[in-house]
Amino acid sequence: MTTLKNDTFIRALLKQPVEYTPIWMMRQAGRYLPEYREVREQAGSFLNLCTNPELACEVTLQPLRRFDFDAAILFSDILTIPDAMGLGLYFTEGEGPKFKNPVRTVADINNLPIPDPETELRYVVDAVRLIKKELRGSVPLIGFSGSPWTLATYMIEGGSSKSFQKAKSLMYEQPKYLHIMLDKLALSVAAYLNAQIAAGAQAVMLFDTWGGMLTSEDYAEFSLYYAKQVRSLLNTETGEHKIPTILFTKGGGQWLESMADAGYDALGLDWQTDIQLARARVGDKVALQGNMDPITLYAQPDYIVDKVKTILEKYGQGFGHVFNLGHGILPDINPDHVKAMVDAVHQYSPMYHKS
């Protein structure tokens, strides 16, 4: 058992008292860092980087050497589960992820296997073990997965999409089979996250990237229902501490009340959701994570500091806040601007945690 030297992030997610607001950043290991680009070139491809535990460990640790983040997040991709299901994930430069064998028929859905994380996804689990060892208890390690609905959209569309026409057509025309697919994905995601927890992840996050493109009724039936299924299957009680869980639905600000009832410890907020109003709406049910607009990091450091102050002030006094961007950092951000944000959170947040 590794005792955490800095457990501020864990305590904030569990709504326990903290001395300051912890911060980490979505996509904090990535293309905005020159050292990441060097390792990416060494790997030969993004997929090679994801499937090599030693290299995945290296890029996970890189941002912690530069910035005073309060958590590390596993470097991986949300589409590892569909790839393990046999869909043949590949990446085209400038076009994002694609699948060689997208889900197109009822037979495709019926034939989808539920991967064993310790076999088909062993490279991810091994990366978690290695990262946990290399962190030496300095900060917690976050594991993650895409949500069942988000994974399904990529699998049905064959890649990313603007309209989600194929996924939505299946939802409206053959909902029974989409439910079969989502049920398999919920079981797969839960097994995957449980394997990450067993390997050493000290918090886990479900990325529901495309839940926000649904109607309220469809979000409840096809996205949130399966996020609840995943949560009900997670092994979050360990000898170390409770494993906090985070649900992030991009574009989900209108559903915060129902999301707060899904069983997760915290909700991630995108930048379009007012954090002050969000806190008033969810009350003491969950912690909140967020929610600076990623584009803010193009601004000069003084402006970034002012925006940090505004978000901290809007959340207000008390615990239950983890500072983050409202989505992932963009690849051409100046790392010095990231430092300005991180340092400002640590400098100005203690005043909101005095008893």
Q: Read off the pLDDT of residues 10-33 as tens digits, 9 standing for 90 and up.
A: 999 999 999 999 999 999 999 999
pLDDT in tens, 179-237: 999 999 999 999 999 999 999 999 999 999 999 999 999 999 999 999 999 999 999 98
Cα-atom radius of gyration of the chain, to the nearest Å? 19
Q: How many degrees, rounded to 5, is the angle at CA 340 between CA 334 and CA 341?
A: 100
- Whether 27 is a known active-site residue: answer yes
Measure Cα distances from 335 to 111, 165, 215, 342 in Å: 45, 37, 37, 11
User: How far, in Å, CA of 190 to CA of 185, rounded?
Assistant: 8
Q: Which residues define the annotated binding site for substrate?
A: 27-31, 77, 154, 209, 327
- Whether 40 is a known active-site residue: answer yes
Enclosing H/E stretch for 35: helix 34-43
The residue annotated as part of the active site, out of 7, 36, 70, 77, is 77
* Cβ-contact 276, 315 below 8 angstroms: yes
DSSP 164-209: -HHHHHHHHH-HHHHHHHHHHHHHHHHHHHHHHHHHT-SEEEEEET
Count how many residues are written for the chain.
355
pTM for this structure?
Answer: 0.97
Please give the domain boundaries of the chain with CATH numbers for all domains: 8-353 (3.20.20.210)
Measure Cα distances from 330 to 31, 32, 252, 300 in Å: 8, 7, 21, 16
- Whether 66 is a known active-site residue: answer no
User: How far, in Å, CA of 219 to CA of 221, rounded?
Assistant: 6
pLDDT at 1: 46
List, as own/partner pairs, every contact residues 173-181 make where C-beta atoms lie below 8 angstroms and the sequence separation is at least 24, other chains included. Answer: 174/106, 175/222, 177/106, 177/109, 178/152, 178/222, 179/222, 180/109, 180/110, 181/103, 181/109, 181/112, 181/152, 181/155
Nearest to 171 by CA among 116, 225, 237: 225
Nearest to 49 by CA among 74, 66, 24: 74
Strand ranges, E, within 299-348:
321-322
User: How far, in Å, CA of 252 to CA of 246, rounded?
Assistant: 14
pLDDT at 238: 75
User: How far, in Å, CA of 350 to CA of 333, rounded?
Assistant: 27
Q: What is the DSSP pairing of strand 96-99 with strand 89-92? A: antiparallel
User: How far, in Å, CA of 141 to CA of 318, rounded?
Assistant: 24
pLDDT at 28: 97
Measure Cα distances from 119 to 4, 52, 125, 231 in Å: 29, 14, 9, 23
The residue annotated as part of the active site, out of 31, 122, 129, 281, is 31
Residues 6+ apart with CB under 8 A from 173: none
Measure Cα distances from 227 to 96, 247, 290 in Å: 25, 8, 20
The residue annotated as part of the active site, out of 27, 126, 231, 265, is 27
The residue annotated as part of the active site, out of 7, 11, 40, 231, is 40
User: How far, in Å, CA of 315 to CA of 342, rounded?
Assistant: 17
User: How far, in Å, CA of 113 to CA of 130, rounded?
Assistant: 27
Place of tokens 């959209």: 153
The residue annotated as part of the active site, out of 154, 192, 219, 315, is 154
Q: Write out the chain's pLDDT in tens, 355 residues.
A: 468 999 999 999 999 999 999 999 999 999 999 999 999 999 999 999 999 999 999 999 999 999 999 999 999 999 999 999 999 999 987 778 999 999 999 999 999 999 999 999 999 999 999 999 999 999 999 999 999 999 999 999 999 888 999 999 999 999 999 999 999 999 999 999 999 999 999 999 999 999 999 999 999 999 999 999 999 999 998 766 799 999 999 999 999 999 999 999 999 999 999 999 999 999 999 999 999 999 999 999 999 999 999 999 999 999 999 999 999 999 999 999 999 999 999 999 999 998 7
Residues 6+ apart with CB under 8 A from 351: none
- Whether 77 is a known active-site residue: answer yes
